[in-house]
A = this chain, B = another copy of it.
Amino acid sequence: MTDPIQIKTSLREWVETATHRAMRDQARYVKSLGFSMPQFFLLMRVYYRKQCGISDLSEHMEITAAAASQTVDKLVQGGFLERTEDPNDRRAKQVTLSPKGLDLIERGFAERFRWVDEMERNLSDEDRRKVGEALAILAEASREDD
């Protein structure tokens, strides 16, 4: 039914669709909240890392430590991040999401995943089974280091 040669293309198309929608929805969500993209990307980095220092944010976002420090500071003042001293190295800071910040990110996910959930609801049990199987395969294949 599906030509094996076409898998690469359809995988790309699928990833492309998902990415395009997610980015569009995310951009709208960020804007509606009054955040800038850099601010939101920083929050997302903290979300994925659970906890990280200014240096990590600086490297990851490819900006100076000064810039990272300033952005963090704004988000701390807004109550979205918490900044504490690293007990192992008192020069360093540990940045984490506040409950308010976490809630914000999670609402963002809900927003980004609305169309996914919608799509999922419209699948038959048989389709659901097939898709589930394929997702397990893909999840396994995509284990990688960040």
Contacts and interface: CB of A to CB of B under 8 A. Distances in A.
Interface of A: 1-4, 6-8, 10-20, 22-23, 27-28, 31, 37, 41, 48, 62, 109, 112-113, 115-117, 119-120, 122-123, 125, 127-139, 141-142, 144
A128 B28 CA distance: 35
B136 A11 contact: no
For the complex of A and B, list the 3 residue pairs with the smallest distance between their C-beta atoms, beginning with the closest. Answer: A134-B134, A2-B132, A19-B22
A132 B10 contact: yes
Contacts of A128: 4, 7
B137 A131 contact: yes
Report how many copies the assembly holds: 2
Q: A interface, by DSSP: helix, strand, loop or mixed?
A: helix
A41 B27 CA distance: 10
Contact of A1 (B16, B122, B133, B144): B133
B8 A142 contact: no
A131 B123 contact: no
Given A1-B133, A28-B62, 17 more contacts: A2-B135, A4-B128, A8-B117, A8-B120, A11-B119, A11-B131, A12-B116, A12-B117, A14-B135, A14-B138, A15-B18, A17-B139, A23-B23, A122-B141, A123-B141, A130-B134, A131-B137
A115 B144 contact: yes
Contacts of A135: 2, 7, 10-11, 14, 134
